[in-house]
Amino acid sequence: MQITLSRLSNSVLGSLADQTISISKKAKYTVVKDQPLLATLDTEFTGYITVFGKTTFSGLGTTVEKADFKCDSVFLGIKTMLAGLIKLPPFAGQQNAVDLFSIFQNRGLDIHTYSYNDQTTEMDKLISELSTPVNLQKLESVHLTLYFELLKQSQAEFKAIYAEQLAANSNLRLMQSATSIRRNLEGALRNYLSIVEGMKSVNGWAELHAELNELVKSIRNSKIGTRTEAPAAATV
């Protein structure tokens, strides 16, 4: 039973292990009923599915990006409107627009380009400064109160989903590394298939060997689910 396990994709490796266990647990294969290597394979497969059955990361990346884009869009909209107001011919309340735009300048006109962590910090500071009674009056005078409320809302939504992503990713990282788990399953599968190969001439093992050999051949001959990187482990 020759197959380079390290060349199999995560899903195909899992499928091979799953089918190997299912075949071996058939009632007729009593020779491996209490086989320690089969029990080890079963245990490693359970741990493998626990991790690879989940998303490697939280899966919230797209949601976070959308929330960030919404917040950035409102921020850019307010900034652009203020920049436009201060360029118009003098009008009542124009100084308020100048004052408000200077706050944006001091905080950074490119906050939207910062990393999520830095952007969150600076955006919170900007919102805090704009939330003073004096600045709220200035926002009202240039008819930007509604947009400012939208900025606060979108920032709150972004912070909530970003915090959820950080927490989820942190929990995932507490698990044993995926690389280590995959290596453990490869080893357990390799050891079990090796003993079946070694015992094929012993009474009661031949039929099991034949069925597992057909399974291995079908996966080995299929190009689906093969990894492109060079194999890192020996063949079974």
37 and 91 housed in the same domain: no
Domain count, the chain: 2
In degrees and rounded to multiples of 5, residue 26 shows phi and psi of -60, 145
Q: What is the residue type of 128?
A: S
10 and 35 housed in the same domain: yes
For residue 231, being part of any structural domain is answered with no
Q: Determine the Cα–Cα distance for residues 164 and 152; give it in Å rounded to an integer.
A: 18
169 and 65 housed in the same domain: yes
Domain hosting residue 199, numbered range = 5-56+178-220
For residue 76, being part of any structural domain is answered with yes
> Where do we find the tokens 């626990």?
50
142 and 70 housed in the same domain: yes
Q: Along the chain (236 residues), what's the average pLDDT of each consecutive run of 10 residues?
A: 84 90 93 94 88 58 86 94 92 92 92 86 94 96 95 93 76 65 93 94 92 90 52 38
166 and 65 housed in the same domain: yes
Alpha helices in the chain (DSSP H): 10-24, 36-52, 61-85, 94-107, 116-130, 133-141, 145-173, 178-198, 206-220
Q: What is the residue type of 115?
A: S
> Which residues have a Cβ under 8 Å from the Cβ of 181 and sit 6 or more positions away?
44, 47, 48, 51, 52
Distances (CA, A) of 170 to 165, 166, 174: 8, 6, 7
pLDDT at residue number 177: 67
28 and 91 housed in the same domain: no
Closest CA to 182 of 212, 227, 217, 148: 227
For residue 17, being part of any structural domain is answered with yes
For residue 88, being part of any structural domain is answered with yes
pLDDT at residue number 55: 46
For residue 15, being part of any structural domain is answered with yes
pLDDT at residue number 63: 84
> Where do we find the tokens 């690389």?
179
153 and 200 housed in the same domain: no
161 and 202 housed in the same domain: no
pLDDT at residue number 232: 34
Q: What is the residue type of 162?
A: Y
For residue 236, being part of any structural domain is answered with no
pTM beyond 0.85: the answer is no
84 and 120 housed in the same domain: yes
Q: Give the chain's length.
A: 236
Residue 153: CB atoms within 10 Å = 13
Contact at 8 Å (CB) between 35 and 169? no
pLDDT at residue number 218: 87
pLDDT at residue number 97: 95
Q: Determine the Cα–Cα distance for residues 116 and 16; give it in Å rounded to an integer.
A: 41
